[in-house]
Amino acid sequence: MKNKSDVPELFGNSKKNNSYVKVCAPMVRYSKVQFRTLVKNYGVDLCFTPMVLADSFCQNGKARASEFATTITDSPLIVQFAANNVDDFVDASTLVYPYADGVDLNCGCPQRWAMKDGYGCALLSKPQIIQDIVKGVRNSLPDTFSVSVKVRLLKEIKKTIEICRQLEKCGITFLTVHGRTPDQNSAGIVDTGALKDICEIIKIPVIANGGVKTLGDADNLHAATNCNGVMAASGLLANPALFSGANRTPLSCVKQWMSMKDKDSDRISFQCYHHHLVFMLDKVLSKQEKQIFNLLNTFESVDEFLYKHVFESLDGGHIDFKYNLDEFVVCEFSDEITLKHSKKCRACGKSMYYCICCKYDPNSKDGSFFNMYIKDRDELDYMDSNIFDESV
């Protein structure tokens, strides 16, 4: 049976200890259950799933299987959905209710495809839709189920504060604010002043997001804003032990990642396994070693490389892990909900799942991940169909 957590209590206990909740961001293709389990061993208190398109989740069984998996101890867990209408969000939330501790509405994705279809930041100009979505969940599911929203700053801080106030009034559990505007990239300066103003005015817990690459960055963001939680994205990819204070990925972390694949190989693709190691080892491998590692295309060749090159040079000792990849939960989703949703995309006539994801083959083995990625990008907590494209 799936364990459940009390999200408000998590924030309350953190405040009593004069601390803050440490949060793993919703990163598309990366915030899977294996990675969530990993980072919880290094100080993460609250995890998000990758951002999931609510309509695709309701429409297609393959989308549900690909985008959502959990274990009996994968808690506290927030499922983040992108939606542009009440029905999709409420139905998707109802489907995951037995297996999660809350849902989150993405109002921060600045990608053009999302804006065009009325997702993400596009909702910031339609606060009534946001309120209707939140109220729809509140009227459909128990009050103990967390409902939250993730937003970006608007150019006018007064408008941002007003939206945050409206969200607070309609009953959200907590709020996440990315400290940059939709037109800023990851190089943009995080507006800690605006975040501080929001944290002072809004009475519900506020998670601050943006620019967190080290534990020092997280501590400084908390001190500057008096936020209730700090969220990290690309910083955690590069170093899953970020919140523990480690300055790079410890050996123990790499070993646990390897053990997760060994324990349940049919639930983690080679691509996911390899990509995470690409991020983790960026500060460890030499340029020449990266070129070799980049072209490896089997579990066996990757593990052989790690034992030969990494464990001799990477510092860190053995630890007993509190969280391991426990028994997976068999998720059963209501036919009454799934059957009422159309399976066809408005544009191409195919399932929305294939419409969005056909641009990315999760089992591709074309390599070049070091050359194409390894940039500091906070946008990783948003959907980006070109995440491994050099032009992004």
Q: Which residues are catalytic?
A: 109
Distance in angstroms (rounded) separating the CA atoms of residues 377 and 282: 14
Long-range CB pairs of 366-373 (<8 Å, 24+ gap) are 367/294, 367/295, 367/297, 368/294, 369/274, 369/275, 369/278, 369/294, 370/278, 370/282, 370/290, 370/291, 370/293, 370/294, 371/294, 373/278, 373/279
3-state secondary structure of 148: strand
Q: Give, as one character, the DSSP assignment of residue 206.
A: E
Q: How buried is residue 285: exposed, middle or buried, by Cβ count under 10 Å (0-12/13-18/19+)?
A: buried
366 alpha-carbon distance from chain centroid: 25
Q: Which two tokens stand for residue 95?
A: 């489907």
d(CA 384, CA 356): 10
Task: For the chain, give the number of residues.
Answer: 392
Of the candidates 31, 39, 26, the one whose C-alpha atom is nearest the C-alpha of residue 241 is 39
Say if CB 383 and CB 360 are below 8 A apart.
no
Give dist(CA 369, CA 388) in Å, integer.
7
Residue 106 pairs in a beta bridge with 150
User: Read out DSSP for 66-105?
Assistant: HH---BTT--SEEEEEE-SSHHHHHHHHHHHGGG-SEEEE
